[in-house]
Structure 1
Amino acid sequence: MRMLVVEDEKRLSDYLVKGLTEHGHVVDVAPDGIEGKRLAVYGEYDAVLLDVMLPGVDGFGVLKALRAAGEPQKSTPVLMLTARDKLDDRVRGLEEGADDYLVKPFAFTELLARVNAITRRSSSNQNGAQATTLTLADLEVDLVARRATRAKQRLDLTAKEFALLVLLLRRRGQILSRTTIAEQVWDMHFDSETNIVEVAVRRLRTKLDDPFDHKLLHTERGMGYVLEDRGS
């Protein structure tokens, strides 16, 4: 799944990004309320982790803008994070449209459980209106179960390989540069001296394409990689 973390404490945001990506999610980060509001309203996420106390625009302001946006953004599940364990704050957040509330400090396992819960509820409440399954030709990816199959055969992917596949599938038909992939999947600035992206793509291709005659993952020399169905 694709997550947005809106958090101005860098150590905490780094911690959340590391944990979420290790569990197969693609994560974007906003360090303040202004950027968080822009990404939440104009992006498309499966869940938003939103701090209350933010510079620029506070979490309540971001939440209000998100709930006033059009679909599918307005229905995005939101987990609010705060260091203030005040009943009024929790009530306000829930009344303004937050799906759940978590007080700092917290264990990552609890945060992950709450994220999974709100995304499941959202999927159930919308009766499939918000896609939890991505498909391309005979490839099917279940975002909730974090399971990928091709021609009904299960693909044994690592967390990073799954995150890479989801990124490519969400942007099917678009050529993604190595820089974009490194930033989205590893949350790192691309270093031309490393071949981490090439290795990951090669391993994914071994599982995704090599056992099948019909290829979906293509290399565009000098530009990057694209996932698309080019026919037989």
Structure 2
Amino acid sequence: MLDDDDELGPLMKPMLEKYGMDLTLAFAPSQAFALLEEESFDAMLLDMMLPELDGMSVCRSIRSSGKPYADIPIVALTARADLTDRIVALEGGIDDFVAKPVEMRELVARIGAVVRRLREDAQDEVASQTAVSAEPAVLHLSPAQMSAVFGPFTVNLTELEMRILRCLQDAQGNTLSRAEILDRIGHHTQSDPAMVDTIIYRVRHKFREQGLKTDFIKTLRGQGYSIKAAQAS
């Protein structure tokens, strides 16, 4: 946890230990980077209002470092949680955020969620790299039937799920940010970009329930989503 408040971290540490989480404290960005070099962590709690270097700058440095810790899940702690701040945080590489004052059960839930997402993405990537197929599976969308087909798997879609998949498909493999996706599907500019994450999660879950082990929707951390092997029907 990187937070210059020398009272908050020590207060949170025993509380998180009750949930089986060990909290390592850093009170300055330089200290945090030194710890990241020395140890492996499941996630990072990052205060967005730091005197030495603001939280977004710390996040960008981590994501662009090229180091093994560049993909660490980051949960932002912020007293400013309006829509603009959330968009900037999500597109800048933050995985999730919790508003101060921190509600401990919400924090634990959000830490658990971002750690699970990272592990699932890693498992999907391994499965994708080891899968052997003479004919690469291709995504087919059927707006008339409101369904999607990938290989032997077929799932039904909601209208919003269909629009987002079609949007990614039309991008022809290029990565689209959450804001770009919302704009291309004609959604209100004030919509929470986290909605896109929810829709992508739902589509992935539907295919996994059918038995799909690989993931044709790719996540580029801090940038957005893309679809590989995409083809319009």
- Taking structure 1 as the reference length, the TM-score comes to 0.50
- Taking structure 2 as the reference length, the TM-score comes to 0.50
Structure with the higher strand share, 1 or 2: 1
- State the structure with more CA Rg: 2
